[in-house]
A and B are shown apart, each in its own frame.
Chain A
Amino acid sequence: MVRFFANANYDFVGVRRYAYGVTAVLLTVGFLALLIRGINYSVEFTGGTLVRITTQAPMDVAKVRAGLEGQGIRGPEIVQFGNDREYVIRARTAKLGTDADNTQETRKAVTSVLDQVLGAGTYQVGRAEAVGPKVGGELRQKALLAILLSFVAVLIYLAYRFEWRFGLAAVIATAHDILTTLGFIAVIKLEVSLVVVGAILSMVGYSLNDTIIIFDRVRENLRKMKGVTFEEVLNRSVNETLPRSVLTHGTTLSSLLALAIFGGEVIRPFALVMFFGVFTGTFSSIYIAPPVLIWIEKKWPGAAVKALAARPAPNKPAPPAGRKAQPAT
């Protein structure tokens, strides 16, 4: 039997104060990046035009830019990626003097400039998007609503399956994950597209999953264990689920790694966000959710925790809390 962490008894809960430091640093860096850089929304959300082309020869970027500006498109972004034959052209604002929700004028202007500079038929359009600001605004609203509503739904479900204290702790841990992930997105200057929002929501699901599995163990141990503090129950539960965490995160990370390397340019942002999400989700399941639960239970003690305190140790004293103390019995 290959076992990692067979009888692990790390003092996860005891070192939570250091973890708060890590969280504080992560959140501060994230907030600073968000404040300074802001979120770089894709044209799907802001409205605008995007054309991805493959050319036959390296393109004269300056000439295309000048052409676009001459057509009344302010500040076009031209990015080369992959090799020197592939470019993405973005125009965030509509062509001057046109109805911005009528996306076609800008789109036509981009095509005519490319036809002029490169020659019609000498380049291939791989992907094109033209989104009006109205459609983009609606999408942004919907995305925000989806994240908030999924929070409420999960809170209600957890309140039903566990109790509201557990649900609240899980949701706070998830909020932490979203904040750190947004910070991560700002730090690596990732463009927030629909796919990235999808990754954030999947990451929320994954992180909740992780928290729930630990809480499930807590619920079970609360009924079983005697003569220990609530902190010790939490610590035991985290330790007992550790092998599962390591294995599942391992398989998930390897899938994500495969996606990031081989999945192509549309999927890579998704894989990156999820990759980070696995780490922050694991961290929050161990260092955010349990301490928050301790805090909530102290403030508004629940029946199960009261019952635990009333249950004395059977005959031998409780194992002393501390790093690598006693193996689990």
Chain B
Amino acid sequence: MHSIRNRLILIGALVALSIFYLFPRSQTIRERGQDGVMRDVVVTRVPLKRGLDLQGGMHLALELDQARKVSADPARDIDLALTVLRKRIDEFGVAEPLIQKSGSDRIVVELAGISDPARAKAVVQRSAFLEFRITDKAGALDKVIPAMDRVLRSLGVQGGAVLAKTPTAVQKLLGDSTKKTDSSAADTGPGILAGLIQPASGPNIGAMPGEYMVAEAAYPRVDSLLNIAEVQKTLPRNLSLRWASAPLSVGVDSYRLLYALDERPIVTGTSLVDASAQIDPLTNGAIVVFELDRAGGRKFGAETGRHVGDYMAILLDDQVQGRPPVIQSRIDRRGQITLGNKTLQEAQDLALTLKAGALPVPLKIVEERQVSASLGKDSIQQGITAGVVGTAMVILIMVGFYRMSGGLSIAALGLYLLFTLGGLSMVGATLTLPGLAGIVLSIGIAVDANVLIFERIREELIHGKTVRLSVDEGFKHAMNAIVDSNVATVLTALFLFQFGTGPVKGFAVTLIMGIAASMITAVFVTRTFFMIWLQRRPALTTLSI
């Protein structure tokens, strides 16, 4: 009697605990609303976490892109990048993001429920390295172009020679236009680069020192020529060349602007303390207004004071943003970046990356997985349908076969589902699509322990033992098989957990939790049910099994 009461109390406690962990509750989430303002939103939902494949979202794995910039200390840079990404994503406004290091050289970012993956990707990947540099006034590039062409000629670069050496897909596509320019820039001509690079001029383009233009079609070729080490050597030490971030249309033609800039930046984004996006009331275009720290502001003020009348290029990730504005007066701590025809949202994203700081080394995405929210919703629906149908079939088989005892095991199966889900919520596990499949599958497998016990009881009954003794012996003898077989399954699940990525890990956790729950329900709960049944009928001589 005591025993039954204690057992019922324990079962009741487990049920209460599971319900507690599954009961919908209010959570406060910081989210960015439609208008781009961060605010706290209170949502009510079941605390069981859903994986990216069920609620939609994006998983990214990133590594340092050492092909673009060699890192002196990769271990430090990856930690720095991690901090920067945390800040950016915090500003971006995603509920419960996951940003962590994986191994020693990789960062994993998981953003659940985002509606615009491309935007999130840009925010994560942008280096956001900001610099201000003065454009060259001395016409230094004009002076070195002949020297560059001499170097190219001595290297044997004539017309299509470079094309033949390193044909890239882009250059192949541009085959026609480059051939045309090649023939005009033959050996005896004014030189390859001299033919392709010309000082910027046109209807809307006023003369600006250090600004050049290249036909958009020839841009990749000129870029690769300028990047040849021997050509780079001819550049004066204090001069560097940078491209504009976007092509410029002049009438029907499209050009890419090239800038000759001072090598030394007057100030960089490391001095930046605040940035925000605004709409410029004059041009109606998006701008980013920034503020520098004290030291940066002093330096910026001194430099801009010295360069009044000069042009200042704003470089973001080594590309010139917009056309360099003329410095009209000394600028101190505040300034603005004009973004031309970009949207306010793009300006907001830029502002938040600038504020969070630059990445020490550019990152490359080595893995991307993305699932839309609607597909996730479909998956949950399909999982539930499969679960309901599967459970119905299992109930049919168990009750059809074991009658009353089967009914008891089905009641235990209900508790099994409750315990599994409650347990998953309690340990903070994530329910994924394979995990959902694991639950449906485990409904079929969970009754195995009951089947083993029932078969044992039947054997004992056939051997002529009393009902009470048969039940006791049945449970006792089946234990060995149940424990051994479940331990083997848990072992394989542990390895699955160890190697798997998100979704499969979720499956392994579900499987382990399911086995734990099925041990409790099959052995303990069903036993208690039998005890109650037998106590109410002391004179029972037959058992419906």
Binding site for B on A (CB under 8 A): 1-3, 52, 70-72, 95-97, 99, 101-104, 107, 124-132, 134-135, 139, 142-143, 145-147, 149-150, 153-154, 157-158, 161, 194-195, 197-198, 201-202, 204-206, 208-210, 212-213, 216-217, 220, 240-241, 243-244, 247-248, 250-259, 261-264, 266-267, 270-271, 274
Contacts and interface: CB of A to CB of B under 8 A. Distances in A.
Contact of B371 (A127, A197, A262): A127
Given A126-B371, A204-B492, A1 B458 contact: yes
A96, A127, A263: most-surrounded residue (chain B CB, <10 A): A263
Nearest to B389: A258
Which of A194, A255, A274 gathers the greatest number of chain B CB atoms within 10 Å?
A255
B493 interface: yes
B60 to A, nearest CB: 10
Contacts of B168: 96-97
B12 interface: no
Contacts of B448: 209, 244, 248, 251-252
A72 B174 CA distance: 13
Query: How many B residues touch the partner, as a band?
Result: 35 or more
Nearest to A100: B366
B445 interface: yes
Would you call the interface of chain A mostly helix, strand, loop, or mixed? helix
B15 interface: no
Given A128-B370, A251-B444, 17 more contacts: A1-B458, A96-B168, A96-B169, A101-B364, A107-B368, A135-B367, A146-B495, A147-B495, A205-B511, A206-B489, A251-B397, A251-B398, A255-B441, A256-B441, A263-B383, A266-B433, A274-B441
B437 interface: yes
B495 A150 contact: yes
Interface string B245-267: 00000000000000000000000
A216 B495 CA distance: 24
B100 to A, nearest CB: 16
Given A130-B367, A157-B488, A263-B386, A244 B445 contact: no
B382 A263 contact: yes
Given A157-B487, A247-B397, A259 B492 contact: no
Contacts of A101: 63, 364, 366
Contacts of A97: 168-170
Contacts, number: 246
Contact of B372 (A124, A240, A263): A124
A71 B169 contact: yes
Interface of B is mostly: helix
B370 A216 contact: no
A213 B504 contact: no
Interface in B419-471: 433-434, 436-438, 440-441, 443-445, 447-448, 451-452, 455, 458-459
16 contacts: A72-B169, A97-B169, A107-B368, A143-B499, A150-B492, A197-B504, A205-B488, A208-B485, A208-B488, A241-B455, A251-B397, A251-B448, A252-B444, A252-B445, A262-B389, A274-B441
A142 B434 CA distance: 19
Contacts of B385: 262
B179 interface: no
A149 B53 CA distance: 28
Given A72-B169, A198-B500, A149 B495 contact: yes
Contacts of A274: 441
Contacts of B364: 99, 101-102, 104
Contacts of A143: 499
B485 A213 contact: yes
B290 interface: no
Which 10 pairs, one residue from A and one from B, show the smallest C-beta to C-beta distance? A255-B444, A72-B169, A258-B390, A254-B393, A264-B382, A146-B499, A252-B444, A205-B492, A205-B489, A262-B386
B462 to A, nearest CB: 8
B374 A126 contact: yes
B394 A255 contact: yes
Contacts of B365: 102-104, 130
B496 A198 contact: yes
A107 B402 CA distance: 56
B491 A157 contact: yes
B535 interface: no
Contacts of A259: 386, 390, 437, 440-441
Contacts of A130: 365, 367-368
A52 B499 CA distance: 26
Contact of A195 (B390, B397, B402, B504): B504
